[in-house]
Amino acid sequence: MENTVAIDVSNVSKIFARGTAQEVKALDDVSVAIFQNEFFTLLGPSGCGKTTLLRLIAGFEHPTFGSIQLDGAEISSLAPYDRPVNTVFQNYALFPHMTVAENIGFGLEMQGRSKTEVETTVSEMLGLVRMETLRDRHIDQISGGQQQRVALARALAPRPKVLLLDEPLSALDLKLRKEMQVELKRLQHETGITFVFVTHDQEEALTMSDRVAVMNNGKILQVDHPHEIYNRPNDRFVADFIGDTNFIRARIIDKDSTRMHLDIGGEKSIQLPTPSDLSANREITLAIRPEQARICGAEDTPIFEGKLAETIYIGTDTHYQIDIGTDSPFVIRVQNASGEVPPLTQGDRVAISIDSAVIQVLRD
């Protein structure tokens, strides 16, 4: 994928009810570049500003500060109908007085395309979302999943440069949702249109996206490929929000150019490669994924020791909760099929080993 920038959001802030008591800073100095042809996901908890950012790109709102460019041209002051950007709304917002085909053709018609062009594109779109047989149904005569497809087809029909999708799958049941995830990926592939997808479901974000932006409190915390987001979170919130993470407070005792020596409490210390910008005596947080820690075998050197507090069997995996003297227990996840499931009982002393390469250093 060549990385040409499609949408360039720079230093955008959006403040609602500015200057009143109800002032809300929905977006706080957000900058992000979305590439052409990519499946880009905005991920974050409720109220973090995902919809606001999407609405700014669509043109329903205008930024309080900052600029938004599409293919190098400033668009932040344009009306929605002047932007080659279409939206799939959360509740679809299909026109209830029109048929499936009329809904899909609406954008084309408004663009002043000829009748035959509208006809052929509508048929093509119906084929793309596999809805040919329902073209003359009214919107209230089709199911939620089918409405979802119509909403997609309607937004794709005018061939926008960017398609915005605001939690389009959240109203669907789990099975349909999985189906539509695959479908969306396929559509993005076949059309080659840039997708900007909003979700608060981390699994959905990781499985579908080329890149993910994790948001919280009106800020973008990290933008990266899913595996980087998962394996190299650069912020405590990101590590916590995506997947399960063990956090350990640590203090830098001393350091040289390549390694630093950390105090992790209880007279224990470890050595890690040094990030350049950390000074001695600083407090940091270490993040460790539960599946990346191991219960010590004979050949390992233990990093922590603790007492087994609980064993939880969840089918594919077993979770060991180990009390290491911190606020919350340290969790280790072991795949049951791996054959490395140690026969431990509650209260046993357990030694934990962690490969220093998988320890993430978070500065707070």
Partner 1 sequence: MSKTRTHQESLEAQAQRKEVKRNLLLSTPALIVLICAASGPLLIMVVFSFLTSGDYGGVKWEWSTQAWFQVAFYRDIFDDTVSIADAHLSILWRSVRLSFLTTLTAFVLGFPTAYFIATRPPETRNIWLFLVTIPFWTNLLIRTFAILEIIRNQGVVNSFLLMLGVIDQPLDMLYTDIAILLGMTYVYIPLMILPIYASMERFDFKLVEAAYDLYASRWKVMKRVILPLVKPGVVAGSILVFIPSLGAYVTPRVLGGGKNLMLGNLIELQFGQGRNWPLGAALSLTLLAIVMIALIVYVRSAQKQGTTHGH
47 vs 145, beta carbon nearer ligand ATP: 47
Cβ atoms within 10 A of the Cβ of 40, count?
A: 22
Query: x/- contact string, 186-225, with Mg ion (CB under 5 A)?
Result: ----------------------------------------
Please give the full DSSP string across 91-124, using - where no structure is assigned: TB---TTSBHHHHHHHHHHHTT--HHHHHHHHHH
Is position 201 an interface residue for ligand ATP (rule: CB under 6 A)?
A: no
- 37 vs 156: CA distance, rounded Å: 14
Give the bridge partners for 89, in sequence order: 92
Choice from 81, 267, 301, 345 touching partner 1 (CB under 8 A): 81
- 285 vs 124: CA distance, rounded Å: 53
Query: x/- contact string, 16-55, with ligand ATP (CB under 6 A)?
Result: xx------x-x-----------------x-xxxxxxx---
Give the bridge partners for 42, in sequence order: 198, 213
Q: Considering CB distances under 5 to 8 angstroms, the limit depending on partner class, which of ligand ATP, Mg ion, partner 1, none binds residue 63? A: none
Choice from 111, 141, 335, 346 touching partner 1 (CB under 8 A): 111
Is position 51 an interface residue for Mg ion (rule: CB under 5 A)?
A: yes
**Number of chain positions touching partner 1 (CB under 8 A):** 26
Quote the least distance from Cβ 21 to ligand ATP, whole Å. Answer: 12
SS3 67: strand
Cβ atoms within 10 A of the Cβ of 256, count?
A: 8
Which range touches partner 1 (CB under 8 A), out of 4-12, 56-64, 236-244, 345-353? 56-64
* Residues in Cβ contact with 90 at an 8 Å cutoff, skipping those fewer than 6 apart: 166, 167, 168, 170, 171
Contact call for residues 183 and 189 (beta carbons, < 8 A): no
- Binding residues for partner 1, per CB under 8 A? 58-60, 79-81, 85-87, 89, 91, 93-99, 102, 106-107, 110-111, 154-155, 158
User: Which residues here bind ligand ATP, judged by CB under 6 A?
Assistant: 16-17, 24, 26, 44, 46-52, 200
